[in-house]
Chain A
Amino acid sequence: MIGDPTIEQKPTRDGYGEGLVIAGKADPNVVVLCADLSESTRSLFFKETFPDRFVQLGVSEQLLAVVASGMAVTGKVPFISSYAMFSPGRNWEQIRTNIALNEANVKIAGPHSGVSVGPDGATHQAVEDMAIMRCIPTLTVLAPCDVHETRKATIAAAALVGPVYFRFAREKTPVFTTPETPFTIGRAEIFRDGNDAAIIACGPLTYNALMAAEELATQGIECRVVNNHTVKPMDEAAVLAAARECGAIVTVEEHQVQGGMGSRVAEILAAHHPTPIEFIGVQDRFGQSGDPNELIEHYGMGVSHIKAAVKKILERKAKGR
């Protein structure tokens, strides 16, 4: 299936919209708040099913966070959706103080993350969101890999008591898990076995990691691929097992390399099991307009880049540094 050019493609944000409806049926306290982007964030699916539990706020992302906080402390389970650049980009302080410090049970959905947002350009491409969310105490941070996993993450977020941030993509990306693939917040899944090097990925780029691993296998290099969807609290055991058993790590994320998923992996390894690591992600730059695939290649997150990073890390592993 990996590498099949006819693989089904769907935007992960669709999984959010579908998950909201399922979560809303399971719990009458689930409400959805929107800042003028109901179609684009797919919160429209919920609005059509539960119009009385859908709240439109207009272009007011700070208000999105504080109204949700107020509703949450009265017992509601609010999901707030805008573009990741605006929520949590614009309303960070309200999320930090009025949601996290206040222990308000709010779920923050960040669609339009990554440079793959495409033609809208750098203003709308959130590549810093995980960094600014994972530094906030009590927040859970998720980066699901495809439409099925995003649906599961949405349902799991509703069931979890506590604030959650999760990000997803605008464009269609490969559907490479199934409704039956296991998903538990806080537990990374090994999507491919191998002990030469481990590729720890999150989000839709996990598919690129699998593609790279398959191509490397033809050259006799067997990579483990870990779907590390929970950026916080990260599955430290899975990261350490990958480090001990493979001895070389490549992290892959559609995010600035500073402060994101790879940074957390490096923190864990530095503290417990220093291991050579290479970081695939946006290298301290802003995005720009373009075709999503073109941008992924331009910013060094394509399959060829992951393969090159694996080869580099294997050289470092061989030299012991």
Chain B
Amino acid sequence: MPHVHSKKVEELEIMANTVRQDIISMLVEAKSGHSAGPLGMADIFVALYFHLLHHNPKKPDWPERDRLILSNGHICPVRYATMARAGYFPVKELATLRKFGSRLQGHPERLKLPGVETTSGPLGSGLGQAAGMAYAAKIDGKRWRTYCLMSDAEQATGLTYEAMLFAGRNRLANLIGIIDRNNIQIDGNTEDIMPLEPLRAKYEACNWRVIEVGGHNIAQFIEAVEEAKATENRPTCIIAHTIPGRGVDFMEYKYQWHGVPPKPEEAKLALEQLRTLGGKIASEHE
């Protein structure tokens, strides 16, 4: 039996589209930042913040909340936009991204913005921190879970491998890793720069359960997280196959959009496409 109704999925898809529009607006205003990754992860962030996470935007330090760690901090526009839409802070503050004095730093900082669980940006550091939180929760008998969102390219870091071993060895069933498998990184396509496959087998070899999903299929993603939550004695890694730049045709699949923002005329076109696509996504589920 599915864990989510199709009506709910439609609502989440519409919210993801709104978040994508926010991302474009933020980046064009900031005049710097990353486009492809944030657009590609909008569906997953919305599914987490609007359906899966136990959290309270009005009490970001609620001790029993689930922890969401963003390891690849550079895709923070999607986190900021989703958090604002979820009620953590005013949507209009999104326009301050990357500006002097802003709580929305170019890479997220825990002490700047309530609800950001850890400071991140240097790649490879997230999974170990998430594992540390999960380990602390386990020895204290806490029920909250730790989710760690990662890029695919950072799977090349030795530190991520160290964390894979640690989480598997300690059977951290309260830890769910989510990899944005969009196949791009700043210098090119992942399999050209430093091949990561067989990625699934690597996690399995470290005593992780692995579930692969389409990263834009919200119902499938929710189902995978529910399976992960029901998994005992080992952590779960969800490999989410996503399209970088999702929703904007001239950005989709292009690694050249990894680390640059749209120019004003490109942003206008992107927003037009997203508004149109919003109707299309809804119609596919009717």
Contacts and interface: CB of A to CB of B under 8 A. Distances in A.
Interface of A: 31, 52-53, 55, 57-58, 60, 62-63, 66-76, 93-94, 97-98, 101-103
Contacts of A70: 69, 118, 128-136
A52 B165 contact: no
Quick one: which of A62, A63, A71, A93 has the most chain B CB within 10 A?
A63
A31 B130 CA distance: 17
Contact of B135 (A55, A60, A94, A103): A55
A55 to B, nearest CB: 7
Contacts of B159: 62-63, 66, 94
Contacts of B230: none
Contacts of A76: 136
Q: Please report whether the interface of chain A is mostly helix, strand, loop or mixed according to DSSP.
A: helix
B202 interface: no
Contacts of B133: 70-71, 73-74
B46 to A, nearest CB: 25
Contacts of A60: 162, 165-166
B1 interface: no
Interface in B80-125: 109-111, 117-122, 124-125
A25 to B, nearest CB: 17
Interface residues on B, range: 20 to 34
A78 to B, nearest CB: 8
A98 B118 contact: yes
A103 B109 CA distance: 10
B258 to A, nearest CB: 21
14 contacts: A31-B136, A52-B139, A63-B166, A66-B132, A67-B129, A71-B133, A71-B135, A73-B117, A74-B136, A94-B125, A98-B129, A101-B119, A102-B109, A102-B119
B110 A73 contact: yes
Given A98-B119, A98-B129, A71 B162 contact: no
B166 A97 contact: no
Interface string B192-234: 0000000000000000000000000000000000000000000
Contacts of B53: none
A69 B118 CA distance: 9
